[in-house]
Structure 1
Amino acid sequence: MYLHIGQNEIVPKQRIIGIFDLDKCSYEKRTREYLSRAEEEGVVLDASGALPRSFVVCDHPYHPQIVYLSQLSPATLQKRAESDTVEL
Structure 2
Amino acid sequence: MFLHLGKDVVVPIKNIISIIDVDAIKKSKDSKAFFKIAEEEGFIKRIADEKVKSYVITEEIQKNKKGVQKMIQTVIYYSAISSTTLQKRANFIDDIHNADKIYLK
TM-score w.r.t. the length of structure 2 is 0.74
**Cα distance change of structure 1 residues 37 and 63 upon mapping to structure 2, 3 Å threshold:** farther
Q: Report which of the two structures shows the higher radius of gyration computed on alpha carbons.
A: 2
Name the residue aligned to 1:5. Answer: 5
Bigger share in helix: 2
Aligned length: 85
Aligned residue type for 2:58:
C
Q: 4+ residue stretches of structure 1 with deviation over 4 A? A: none
Q: Equivalents in 1 of 2:26, 2:44: separation in Å?
A: 15
Bigger RCO (CA 8 Å, 6+ sep): 1
**Aligned 8 A contact 1:20 1:56 in 2:** yes
Name the residue aligned to 2:48. Answer: 48
- Structure 2 residue runs of 5 or longer lacking an equivalent are 62-70, 97-105
SS in 1 for 2:60: coil
Name the residue aligned to 2:78. Answer: 69
Shift in Å, 1:63: 4.8
Aligned residue type for 2:13:
K
CA RMSD, 1 decimal: 1.5
Name the residue aligned to 2:25. Answer: 25
Identity within the alignment, %: 33
Q: Equivalents in 2 of 1:63, 1:33: separation in Å?
A: 22
- Structure 1 residue runs of 5 or longer lacking an equivalent are none
Bigger share in strand: 2
